[in-house]
Amino acid sequence: MKPFRLDKVLDYRKHLRLDARNALAAAIADEQTLIKHQERIERQKDQQMEELATLARSQVVNVEAAARRRYFSGQLDIQLMMVAEQLRQARHVVDQQRMLLVKADQEVKALERLREKHFEEETSQLQRRTEIELSEQWQSSNWSW
């Protein structure tokens, strides 16, 4: 039986597919890290707003403490905007990596189908040759002069 002539290409495509899977996993991990960072900043901002509300309800208003809370809250808003932009970019990278993985997977499957077709044809030819040989043997053994 002849070996499949594109085995090396198939192995290479499988390697590319594995690389694409790893790249997608890394992109998803980066996205999850950014989401956790965003949630942490939002919790800090909520905490600052609660402390600001507590200061506003107190009998004695501490202007300096309130100003610090407002300033820090503003800084957290800036960080949230930056993280939101990074998250948007990370999601774009995840989408690109998904598309690359789909393409790599399609290329592997196409070569696997070719390999299956090759082996089916080889098996069929081998079976035909065997049948011909058996038929010739039978004819030669049953031929009477």
User: What are the extents of the domains in the chain?
Assistant: 16-101
Q: Which two tokens stand for residue 24?
A: 């997608």
Q: What are phi and psi of 62, to 5 degrees?
A: -100, 100
Average pLDDT for 12-21 = 97
Check pLDDT > 80 for residue 144.
no
Highest mean pLDDT among 26-30, 60-64, 121-125: 26-30
pTM score, whole prediction: 0.76
Question: Quick one: pLDDT band at residue 137, thresholds 50, 70, 90?
Answer: confident
Q: What is the model's pLDDT at position 145?
A: 54
pLDDT tens digits, 56-94: 888 787 888 888 889 999 999 999 999 999 999 999 999
3-state SS, one letter per residue, for the chain: CCCCCCHHHHHHHHHHHHHHHHHHHHHHHHHHHHHHHHHHHHHHHHHHHHHHHHHHHCCCCCHHHHHHHHHHHHHHHHHHHHHHHHHHHHHHHHHHHHHHHHHHHHHHHHHHHHHHHHHHHHHHHHHHHHHHHHHHHHHHHCCCC
Average pLDDT for 36-45 = 96
pLDDT tens digits, 125-136: 999 999 998 888
